[in-house]
Amino acid sequence: MQIKPRRTFIRQMAASTALLSVGATGLAGCTSTAGGIAEGAVPGFRHGVASGDPLSDRVMLWTRVTPARDGDIPVRWQMATDPGMQQVIAHGSVITSAQKDYTVKVDAAGLLPGHVYYYQFALDGGGKSVVGRTKTLARGDAKQVRLAVFSCSNYPAGYFNVYADAARQNDIDAALHIGDYIYEYESTGYASGNAQALGRVSEPRELLLHTDDYRRRYAQYRSDPDLQAVHAAMPFITVWDDHEIADDTWRDGSVDHKTSKYGPFELRKLAALTAYHEWMPIRVPDAAAPDKIYRSFDFGGIVSLHMLDTRLIARDQQLMMSSYYDAHKRFDVEKYKQDVYSPRRQMIGHEQMAWLEGQVSRSTARWQMLGQQVLMARMEYPAAVVMGECNTTDYCALKLRAQADPSCVNEKEQRWLAGATLPCYLDSWDGYQADREQVFEMMHKHRKNLVVLAGDTHNAWASDLRDAQGRQVGVEFATASVSSPGMEGAYPDRDPDDVAAMMVDLIEPLYYAQTSKRGYMIVTASHEQVRCDWRFVDTVFKHEFTAATERSLRVLPGPGNRRIEECYSV
């Protein structure tokens, strides 16, 4: 059995029993921005504006000039305390050119903590961009922090209604995009079946390999009015996952990259990173190392947010379960476990791990929050299911039968129920268990309250995080995708609630699953709790949509808590 991309994960993590329904709150009917925010823009700034990497005294500002001529282009910028741009508190000018793909990045400093600011760019001759809104980080007087969390925004897969809904939220301190901001596939690749009808065929049409390829793909994504709207409404804090480079990227390659056909992977990676840093409002921690983007943000003594890189710095190549079968189709369980648990296998690497421990040990914030790409929770299946001895439906039925009448379970079924669980999605932290244990031990040793944010799988999850000794160390909240399809495509004839319920039944630490809808998370942290609201849209195939908060869960601080519980209050 070979486990590789999200598509395989979606097929693997299937299910069929009923999930107790949860009432939707915050229902709103609306349409996408589709021309709204862009109406005030002039042709010189067709890709909108953005801000990012806010600190207490500064923030990155971004735009791209749509050039009317070749050569250097001067661009003026200013910041104000009002949306009418009358109370200007900072201004300056920069030069952009084709060398930067005509992108503009300004690290605007000298700002006050916890303040909302507005910004705008202008060209000689009077052309002005739309006005963007941003916010600096609070220091010690914050009461709460609200973060919008996104992942897996696939342009040909559907409209960005998720971004449109988030842009209308008026109380978000910052947005986190934790990976797959773009997809690198050719125009007929993954999730492109409706692209022609939706008017969202990927450009360029070919697989992304060179710098200009990646630049053109970012330009297409950033032409989307809903993405422009959410960038103009709030600062972004971003990290890449694999599709900003190539599917299932690891340190020295990708599952789909064939050197004989596409050339050295290092050149493709450099091309992808060049375009990423040009088009994203990110502050580069080390200009000499563009692949080094792990960094921290402190939100007023409430949250220390540590953005990790689980892809490029140190990740070893993913294991494949198919390589553990012999010629007689017998699976070598012991060798498999030995490799999965090997201390030599790295996810984030020694240098990043040491940096993270330093950040965590020095932090005095109530919550340590990890903004990163892939699931950290143990998403392990019963061995009987992984080995193909029993399917998921029959296994769950067996569990119910054994609970009702243990005497009706035969010897083979007893062996199935008593068997161990095995990790099977090896692109996640399940495939790098030694690194995960180091993170858990770090949080336990320093007595920290841990909340992990994840994306990658296109589905929504909430799990308790327990170390190898079974100690509760924190929780994980994972967001659904902006537009990439989830399990509903793999199981079109099954009730999605049954699919989600099967997941919760099969995977012991898993508390909640939503496997059929596109959406995002709003994470609200205070000294008293961290609450996660999963917000979903009803469609990505029409500009008219409804949005609702369908589930809310929380975690409380302290060694007696640090586990998922229901959140009943609005």
Burial state string for 57-76 with b = 16 or more CB within 10 A and e = fewer than 16: ebbbbbbbbbeeeeeebebe
107: Cβ contacts below 8 Å, ≥ 6 apart: 58, 59, 60, 61, 283
- pTM for the predicted model, two decimal places: 0.94
Q: Is residue 408 assigned to a domain?
A: no
Q: Is residue 410 assigned to a domain?
A: no
Q: In this predicted model, what pLDDT tens digit does every residue of 82-91 receive, in sequence order?
A: 999 999 999 9
CB neighbour class for 325 (10 Å; exposed up to 12, middle 13-18, buried from 19)? middle
167 near 443, Cβ under 8 Å? no
Closest listed residue to residue 510, CA positions, set 469, 553, 548: 553
Q: What is the pLDDT of residue 207?
A: 98
- Residue span of the structural domain in which 35 resides: 27-286+295-379+425-566
Look at residue 118 and give its three-state secondary structure.
strand
Q: What is the pLDDT of residue 42?
A: 56
Q: Is residue 389 assigned to a domain?
A: no
247: Cβ contacts below 8 Å, ≥ 6 apart: 5, 184, 185, 254, 255, 256
Q: What is the pLDDT of residue 525?
A: 98
Q: What is the pLDDT of residue 28?
A: 63
**Cα–chain center distance at 46:** 26
Please name every residue paired with 535 in a beta bridge, in sequence order, or none if there are none.
Answer: 520, 549
CATH number at residue 368: 3.60.21.70
Q: How many DSSP H helices and E strands does the chain contain?
A: 14, 24
Q: What is the pLDDT of residue 27?
A: 60
Give the DSSP letter of residue 250. Answer: B
In whole angstroms, give the CA distance from residue 356 to residue 373.
Answer: 16
In the chain, the amino acid numbered 173 is: D
Q: In this predicted model, what pLDDT tens digit does every residue of 198-210 receive, in sequence order?
A: 999 999 999 999 9
Q: What is the pLDDT of residue 38?
A: 40
Q: What is the pLDDT of residue 140?
A: 82
523: Cβ contacts below 8 Å, ≥ 6 apart: 146, 147, 148, 149, 451, 453, 477, 530, 531, 532, 533
What is the chain's pLDDT, residue by residue, as a tens digit (570 residues)? 333 345 555 544 443 222 222 333 456 677 776 544 444 445 799 999 999 999 999 999 999 999 988 999 999 999 999 999 999 999 999 999 999 999 999 999 999 999 999 999 999 888 999 999 999 999 987 899 999 999 999 999 999 999 999 999 999 999 999 999 999 999 999 999 999 999 999 999 999 999 999 999 999 999 999 999 999 999 999 999 999 999 999 999 999 999 999 999 999 999 999 999 999 999 988 888 999 999 999 999 999 999 999 999 999 999 999 899 988 888 898 999 999 999 999 999 999 999 999 999 999 999 999 999 999 999 999 999 888 888 888 898 999 899 999 889 899 999 999 988 999 899 999 999 999 999 999 999 999 999 999 999 999 999 999 999 999 999 999 999 999 999 988 778 889 999 899 999 999 999 999 999 999 999 999 999 999 999 999 999 999 999 999 999 999 999 999 999 998 765
Q: Rounded to whole angstroms, what are the CA distances from 534 to 162, 183, 325, 429, 516?
A: 12, 24, 39, 23, 13
180: tokens are 């797959």
371 near 452, Cβ under 8 Å? no
Beta strands in 379-439 (DSSP E): 380-382, 421-423
Q: What is the pLDDT of residue 39?
A: 45
In whole angstroms, give the CA distance from residue 193 to residue 279.
Answer: 27
Q: Is residue 335 assigned to a domain?
A: yes
In whole angstroms, give the CA distance from residue 396 to residue 390.
Answer: 10
Q: Is residue 393 assigned to a domain?
A: no
Closest listed residue to residue 113, CA positions, set 79, 142, 133, 85: 142
437: tokens are 């244990």
Q: What is the pLDDT of residue 8?
A: 52
Q: What is the pLDDT of residue 568?
A: 73
Q: Is residue 407 assigned to a domain?
A: no
Burial state string for 332-345 with b = 16 or more CB within 10 A and e = fewer than 16: eeeebeebbeeeeb
Q: Rounded to whole angstroms, what are the CA distances from 328 to 332, 357, 564?
A: 11, 45, 43
Q: How many domains does the chain contain in total?
A: 1
Closest listed residue to residue 382, CA positions, set 411, 338, 407, 418: 418
Q: What is the pLDDT of residue 521?
A: 98
Closest listed residue to residue 540, CA positions, set 229, 177, 197, 157: 157
Q: Is residue 41 assigned to a domain?
A: yes
Q: Is residue 458 assigned to a domain?
A: yes
- Taking each helix axis from N to C end, the angle separating 211-222 and 225-233, rounded to the nearest 10 degrees, works out to 80
